[in-house]
Amino acid sequence: YVKYVKSGLVKVSREGENEKSVIIRIATADSFLGILSLFYEERYQFTATAIEDSNVIYTNISVFKEIVGENGHYAIHLMKELSSSAMVLLDKVINVSQKQVPGRLADVLLFFSTQIYKKDTFTLPVSRMDLAELISSTKESISRTLTEFKNDKIIELDDKEVTIKSLELLQILSRLG
């Protein structure tokens, strides 16, 4: 099946050779799940887990391929989705290799604040372990960095409730890595 997120948030992950999971991305409404493996193999290459109430549409892969083959406009839309997914992965590789944990964590907090919830106060929809898997770090580093952000008054933190106190500092941390 081809999976499409109609609403909600879904974490898309893949297990490495060492059985350690890496969260590839957080899929939002109006996005495909695992689109990069669509034409790769018959077997779905990713694990998708809803992290908020979500509505996911399943389309038979044969029907989907037929629609793509018969509709050039839709094929172009699908190519844009594939390109976008590839760019997200490239950005992730660059961030992991060029940014320290505070910069990568700032990226995630900014993502949730500005792109998902569009407000300064939000509830993290993922665990500390999920944050670690999302930015290729450890749960301990995530906890330590969140505490540093809190002590530096960049955020307020109450369990999973986050309030961005200094958007400017988070943006600087994100930019400088």
Of the candidates 64, 1, 2, 56, the one whose C-alpha atom is nearest the C-alpha of residue 27 is: 56
**Alpha carbons within 13 A on the beta-carbon side of 142:** 20
pLDDT band at 34 (very low <50, low <70, confident <90, very high): confident
**Percent of all residues in the chain with a pLDDT value above 70, rounded to a whole number:** 98
Given this model, what pLDDT does residue 123 score?
A: 95
The β-bridge relationship of strands 21-27 and 10-15 is antiparallel
DSSP type of residue 43 = S
Q: Is 114 helix (H, G, I), strand (E, B) or coil?
A: helix
Number of helices (H), then strands (E), belonging to the chain: the values are: 6, 9
Q: Above 90 in pLDDT, residue 111? A: yes
Q: What are phi and psi of 127, to 5 degrees?
A: -80, 170
Given this model, what pLDDT does residue 42 score?
A: 64
Condensed to tens digits (0 to 9), the pLDDT of residues 93-104 reads 888 888 999 999
User: Average model confidence (pLDDT) for the chain?
Assistant: 91
Neighbours of 160 (CB within 10 A): 12
Given this model, what pLDDT does residue 62 score?
A: 87
